[in-house]
Amino acid sequence: MTIVLATTNRKKIEEITRMFAGFNVRFLPLDSFPDCPEIIEDGKTFRANAVKKAVSISKITGHPAIADDSGLEVRALGGAPGIFSARYAGEGADDEKNVRKLLREMKGLEDRDREARFVCCMAFAGPDGSCKTFTGYISGMIGRRRKGFNGFGYDPVFYPAGHDRTFAEMSDSEKDSLSHRGKAMKKLYAYLRKIL
């Protein structure tokens, strides 16, 4: 089966491909379809954005598509950055700027007020418009400074519950076994096993 990954984020593509190693699937990144228009993520939830991307890309390419929308929710910030995680510090912001803004916003907060969770909603859509979603969560806390060099996004400041290392200090396989994306992916994997 050929499945289009509705993202141009190289780190996400690597993560998804790694998780499906040995599975009889050929993944095509979105940039394999240069005429594909950009899908605007204007939904109010992670699920709405993932569904919109997956359904749109599947219809355009004629192949099943997987899309995800994921982000960080910090309780003390009312759930921010949430669906704006990738552009928390403004349009075109990179990981470094987003993390800096987050740490600035949380400056002075006690440990008990640094609770956060990562959320990932994955959508699998067919060219007929059908779509299934799979959601994963990982709770933890936000550290006071960056630690580690692996991963991407907010990984250097996120400590999963029960761990004393950030995601960025963990190996790929350690992170995959704990992460929000890993949990959503396991649900998607089980679903694909049933339909293939």
CA dihedral 133, 94, 171, 110 (to 10 degrees): -90
pLDDT digits (tens, 9 = 90+) for 25-43: 888 989 899 888 889 889 9
DSSP state of 37: P
Cα Rg, the chain, nearest whole Å: 17
Could you tell me the two tokens for 120? 């990932």
Q: Can you give the pLDDT at residue 33?
A: 92
pLDDT digits (tens, 9 = 90+) for 47-81: 999 999 999 999 999 999 999 999 999 999 999 99
Q: Can you give the pLDDT at residue 168?
A: 97
From the CB of residue 147, how many other CB atoms can be counted at a distance below 10 Å? 16
Task: State the catalytic residue, choosing from 31, 42, 68, 69.
Answer: 69
Q: Can you give the pLDDT at residue 78?
A: 97
User: Which of the residues in the chain have pLDDT under 50?
Assistant: none
Is 5:53 a contact under the CB 8 Å cutoff? no
User: Is CATH 3.30.559.10 the classification given to domain 2-195?
Assistant: no
pTM: 0.89
Q: Is 69 among the catalytic positions?
A: yes
Cis peptide before 127 (omega within 30 of 0): no
Is 176:15 a contact under the CB 8 Å cutoff? yes
Q: Can you give the pLDDT at residue 154?
A: 97
CA distance 72 to 107: 17
The domain locations on the chain are 2-195
CA angle 102, 108, 111 (to 5 degrees): 85
